[in-house]
Chain A
Amino acid sequence: GKKQYDREFLLDFQFMPACI
């Protein structure tokens, strides 16, 4: 299906360190 993300979900990633 379509990948829809709400703002709270997206904001949770803002300061997450990138996984390498």
Chain B
Amino acid sequence: HSLENRWALWFFKNDSSQAWQDNLHLIIKFDTVEDFWAVYGHIQLASKLSSGCDYALFKDGIRPMWEDSRNKRGGRWLVSLAKHQRHSKLDRLWLETLLCLIGESFEEHSQEVCGAVVNIRTKGDKISVWTREAENQASVLHIGHVYKQHLGLSTKAIIGYQAHADTATKSTRNKFVV
């Protein structure tokens, strides 16, 4: 069962003796439902990674960094987890995120999606969905609403969208919320 897109899974392991980009490794690319599960079944769950590590799933040809030409005008829907949620929620939310991406859950707005990242951090893990153009308000909001619904977050929970250009300058301003 072929997917609409070919996806690349990346792994980042923090090693401060190396440049950031040298810590980022492409694991594998896949473009079928069956290969997705083969990959998923052979890698560590996100909750088992050590702090400082990331997984990223991006469309083939887009590197999981702000600097990539297909990311630099974009931003991310960010889900921040409390420390205690690593064991109760992280793996389920990350899997739901992956299924939204490979299943093209955002309908025609799926073309705006670049990828998703899970950051494993001692102060609290984060999951984000990256889109390519922060100014495409209709697409960004559609993706945010659908994503929140798929994660099963309560209507009271609020997730924010931050433009990479703002994040790069250390501003944590939410451009949109759903």
Q: Give the chain A neighbours of B1 by CB distance below 8 A.
A: 3, 5, 13
**Set of chain B residues within 8 Å of A2, measured between Cβ atoms:** 4, 104, 108, 110
| B174 contacts chain A at the CB level, 8 A cutoff | no
Q: How far is the CA of A11 from the CA of B92 in the complex (A)?
A: 12
CA distance A15 to B33 in the complex (A): 12
Contact with B along A1-20 (1 / 0, CB 8 A): 01111110111011110110
When A2-B104, A3-B2, A4-B105 are in contact, do A13 and B34 touch as well, CB less than 8 Å? yes
Contact across chains for B103 and A7 when beta carbons are under 8 A apart: yes
B104 in complex: contacting residue of A3, A11, A13, A19, CB < 8 Å: A3
A4→B104 contact, CB < 8 A: yes
How big is the B interface, by class?
Answer: 20 to 34
Min CB–CB distance A15 → chain B (angstroms): 8
| Given known A-B contacts A4-B4, A5-B1, A10 and B38 have beta carbons under 8 A apart | no
Q: Which residues of A contact B41 (CB under 8 A)?
A: 14
Contact of A16 among B3, B34, B105, B108 (CB under 8 A): B34
Any chain A CB within 8 A of the CB of B96? yes
Using Cβ atoms and an 8 Å threshold, which residues of chain A touch B107? 4
B33-50: contact bitstring with A at CB < 8 Å (1 yes, 0 no)?
A: 110111011000000000
Q: Within 8 Å of chain A (Cβ to Cβ): is B24?
A: no
Residues of A within 8 A of B37 (CB): 13-16
Taking A3-B2, A7-B96, A13-B37 as given, write out 17 further A-B residue pairs in contact, using a Cβ cutoff of 8 Å, ordered by the A residue number: A3-B1, A4-B4, A6-B105, A7-B99, A7-B100, A7-B103, A7-B105, A7-B150, A9-B103, A10-B33, A10-B99, A10-B102, A11-B99, A13-B33, A14-B41, A18-B38, A19-B34
Enumerate chain A interface residues (CB-CB to B < 8 A): 2-7, 9-11, 13-16, 18-19
